[in-house]
Amino acid sequence: MANATPVRVRFCPSPTGNPHVGLVRTALFNWAFARHHEGTLVFRIEDTDAARDSEESYNQLLDAMRWLGFDWDEGPEVGGPHAPYRQSQRMDIYQDVAQKLLDGGYAYHCYCTAEELEERREAARKAGKPSGYDGKCRAVTAEQKAAYEAEGRTSIVRFRMPDETITFTDLVRGELTFQPENVTDYGILRANGAPLYTLVNPVDDALMEITHILRGEDLLSSTPRQIALYKALIELGIAKQIPAFGHLPYVMGEGNKKLSKRDPQSSLNLYRERGFLPEGLLNYLSLLGWSFSEDQDIFSIDEMVAKFEIEDVNANPARFDLKKCEAINADHIRQLDVKDFTERCAPWLRAPFAPWDEADFDQSVFDAIAPHAQSRLKVLSEITDNVDFLFLKEPVFDEASWTKAMGKGDPVALLTTARAKLETADWSSPESLKEAVLAAGEEHGLKLGKAQAPVRVATTGRTVGLPLFESLEILGKDRTLARIDAALKKLAA
């Protein structure tokens, strides 16, 4: 599927805070697009904001990319022809470009103070006019400049927007037009000379020869500015072409509000801790704005790559549905090879997740129960509660379960009969254990469901859990009988 012009896309997060699901979706769509077109994925770190960026967040980003299974062709740790890929190490490049823009008349110094700008904005608002920058400093003379500087004023550098309509065809939204009065001259260097996102992002996209920019809808308003900057960069011989743009739809969370970075529900770490599989999470996130087919929601990442076209992305906001995300994850858990499943459970089988003593954990016991658990989990962290009865010295009785199973009828009589029948049952087959409990129930006029509830609570602590007779077989005869004895004692007390 190789294209005439090789595809080059980029994923360029700023290392501020924890990675969030919106960011993951952007990474996924870029990665899938690059792989689908046998193109190049550039991973660039936009860390020019020293006040907000952190090394910890940078490390988390890399860790997240690896956990998700994304590879990149150029970027941190792999290098590439446009290195370095951390903007904090490219500062001299931006200074150089800013100077060329100034020299070419594409940018100018603006001496307006924050108060002056605010005053004029307010006046424009009152007059019902667009309130962007009014161009006052476009034509500052050398004399005025000297006077301003003598006054002690500092200046920022502004890019001069051409006074013309800007139209482009968004890969997701179709043709979009921006009027010049709504897209005014904008800052590219701060008063202290530090370059802004508005400069470094398109400059690097140009230098790194990015062909397609796929990013969130929140960045749509910066696109006409960047297109104008691109034109200047082409005239200066710095850029080769204006890339194509595709803006991915917003992701809505609870209450139909935009899912924000600060929303706890959006933190990638949360999904990792709860035991989402990367393949389950990516499958779900791919459906935020895209669909695989009308009747298929579950697919592998390779299947997604084979089908992914940016033109198929829907412009409408997508709704984040946690229930659906969990259901899809459950499906991917079921699809795992059982050995793989067992290995992936490992983090939840030890501290701080597991409540049992590490010495009481037995891998072969876990391997025996694992196939029964695999089909029942939405997320891997649920494994802990499902198997804790095997590794805790005593089951932890869930109070509601205890009341539900022991609070009516005659649990003492039932448990006493069941214990006697289990004692003589054949412990090498769950069928025989089931027959024992069934027979005990019959003696007391109870169906299997009612008869097994007290046995389940006595041995596992809860009314719901993994298939009971398989669980008891793995728990073993001695511990099962001892737990029934303990429950009888508790009932007698």
| Sheet strand arrangement including 8-11 | 40-43, 8-11, 212-216, 244-248
Scored b (16 or more CB within 10 A) or e, 216-228 reads bbebbebbbbbbb
In angstroms, the CA 389 to CA 296 distance is 38
Backbone CA torsion sign across 155, 156, 159, 161: negative
Interaction of residue 224 with ligand GLU, rule CB under 6 A: no
Q: Which lies closer to ligand GLU via its Cβ, residue 49 or residue 321?
A: 49
Interaction of residue 171 with ligand GLU, rule CB under 6 A: no
Select from 6-14, 232-240, 358-366, 470-478 the region that touches ligand GLU (CB under 6 A): 6-14
Q: Which lies closer to ligand GLU via its Cβ, residue 117 or residue 219?
A: 219
Interaction of residue 188 with Zn ion, rule CB under 5 A: no
In angstroms, the CA 348 to CA 361 distance is 12
State which of residues 40, 48, 201, 211 lies at the interface with ligand GLU (CB under 6 A).
201
Q: Which one of ligand GLU, Zn ion, none is in contact with 110 (Cβ closer than 5 to 8 A by kind)?
A: Zn ion
Q: Which lies closer to ligand GLU via its Cβ, residue 49 or residue 398?
A: 49
In this structure, are residues 400 and 419 in contact, taking their beta carbons and an 8 Å threshold? no
State which of residues 35, 215, 272, 421 lies at the interface with ligand GLU (CB under 6 A).
215
Who's near 174: CB < 8 A, 6+ residues apart?
A: none
Q: Which one of ligand GLU, Zn ion, none is in contact with 137 (Cβ closer than 5 to 8 A by kind)?
A: Zn ion
Based on DSSP, count helices (H) and strands (E) in the chain, helices before strands: 20, 11
Q: Which lies closer to ligand GLU via its Cβ, residue 9 or residue 380?
A: 9
In this structure, are residues 33 and 7 in contact, taking their beta carbons and an 8 Å threshold? yes
From start to end of 160-291, where are the E strands? 166-170, 174-178, 186-189, 212-216, 244-248, 251-252
Interaction of residue 14 with ligand GLU, rule CB under 6 A: yes
In angstroms, the CA 330 to CA 311 distance is 30
How many residues touch ligand GLU (CB under 6 A)? 7
State which of residues 12, 21, 27, 137 lies at the interface with Zn ion (CB under 5 A).
137
| HSE-up (13 A, CA, CB side) for residue 248 | 27
24-63 footprint of ligand GLU as x/- string (CB under 6 A): ----------------------x-----------------
Residues marked active site are found at 261
The minimum distance between CB 65 and ligand GLU, in angstroms, equals 14
Q: Which lies closer to Zn ion via its Cβ, residue 110 or residue 436?
A: 110
**Residue with token string 């029964």:** 372
State which of residues 219, 236, 305, 486 lies at the interface with ligand GLU (CB under 6 A).
219
Neighbours of 29 (CB within 10 A): 26
The minimum distance between CB 112 and Zn ion, in angstroms, equals 3
In angstroms, the CA 242 to CA 221 distance is 16
Q: Which lies closer to ligand GLU via its Cβ, residue 269 or residue 381?
A: 269
State which of residues 7, 8, 9, 12 lies at the interface with ligand GLU (CB under 6 A).
12
Select from 10-18, 97-105, 118-126, 388-396 the region that touches ligand GLU (CB under 6 A): 10-18
Q: Which one of ligand GLU, Zn ion, none is in contact with 112 (Cβ closer than 5 to 8 A by kind)?
A: Zn ion
**Residue with token string 């010049």:** 180
Backbone CA torsion sign across 201, 218, 276, 338: negative
Q: Give the binding site for Zn ion (CB under 5 A).
A: 110, 112, 136-137
Q: Give the binding site for ligand GLU (CB under 6 A).
A: 12-14, 46, 201, 215, 219
